[in-house]
Amino acid sequence: MNNKVTNILLSGVGGQGAILASNILAHVFVQAGYDVKKSEVHGMAQRGGDVTTHFRYGAQVYSPLIKFREVDFLLAFELLEALRYINYCKDKAAIVINDQKILPPAVTLGFAEYPTDIPATFKKHFKDRVHVVKGQEIALGLGNAQAANVVLVGAFSKLIPEIGDQMWLNALTDLLPKKIRDLNVKAFQKGREAL
């Protein structure tokens, strides 16, 4: 284990399951022996607002917040919510984006345009380290759009080769109720294959 702290920023819209995703990360990196910290703003988020979780792991983590420009991995559950944090990423950051648009009110009311071609904007800066995943489509293929978050986690897991499959699967087993476990294991594997 090296001393460096790794920073993962999860961004999305309330209700997309970013909290479960960050709980899976916490479970995995604790198993791997790291110190972890994760921080999110609750409260009004479940009423359609944007949600971000700062997740950090390493030998010893101080700040619960990631410093501007220090994001190693951006795990975005929605396109616009990816773009909002483009400047937070390190030059060498890797990006996993769910190919889904959730229109903010200014757009649905017709006052603003939804930014176009967000993946291309990312590719300009982060080249082949940008991974666009059809999370919702894959999850719907498995019968439940709600599992898109775990598809994304599966895709992201490919970027951390030091963590074996089993640790991720342990996390799913420990954190999910039996009823939805198999679905999410499939979603995780499909996500892994997607990258």
Q: Helix (H, G, I), strand (E, B), or coil: what is residue 40?
A: strand
Q: Which lies closer to other proteins via its Cβ, residue 84 or residue 181?
A: 84
Rounded to a whole number of angstroms, the minimum distance from the CB of residue 159 to other proteins is: 20
Establish if 160 lies at the interface with other proteins (CB under 8 A): no
Burial, 125: exposed, middle or buried (Cβ in 10 Å; 0-12, 13-18, 19+)? middle
In angstroms, rounded to a whole number, what is the distance separating the alpha carbons of residues 58 and 37?
A: 9
Q: Which lies closer to other proteins via its Cβ, residue 106 or residue 195?
A: 106
Q: Which lies closer to other proteins via its Cβ, residue 5 or residue 142?
A: 5
**Could you tell me how many residues of this chain bind other proteins (CB under 8 A)?**
49
In angstroms, rounded to a whole number, what is the distance separating the alpha carbons of residues 138 and 151?
A: 7
Task: Decide if 184 contacts 23 (C-beta within 8 A).
Answer: no
Establish if 187 lies at the interface with other proteins (CB under 8 A): no
Nearest to 136 by CA among 184, 183, 188, 77: 77
Q: Which lies closer to other proteins via its Cβ, residue 56 or residue 131?
A: 56
Q: Which one of 37, 129, 186, 190 is in contact with other proteins (CB under 8 A)? A: 37
Q: Is the dihedral of CA 96, 99, 100, 103 positive or negative?
A: positive
Rounded to a whole number of angstroms, the minimum distance from the CB of residue 66 to other proteins is: 8
Q: Helix (H, G, I), strand (E, B), or coil: what is residue 20?
A: helix
Q: Which lies closer to other proteins via its Cβ, residue 87 or residue 173?
A: 87
Kindly indicate which of the ranges 97-105, 147-155, 173-181, 182-190 contains the residues binding other proteins, using the contact rule CB under 8 A.
97-105
Establish if 27 lies at the interface with other proteins (CB under 8 A): yes
Q: Which one of 46, 164, 173, 195 is in contact with other proteins (CB under 8 A)? A: 46
Helix intervals (H) in 52-134: 79-83, 105-108, 118-126
List of residues contacting other proteins (CB under 8 A):
13, 26-27, 30, 35-50, 61-69, 80-81, 83-87, 103-110, 112, 114-115, 121, 125
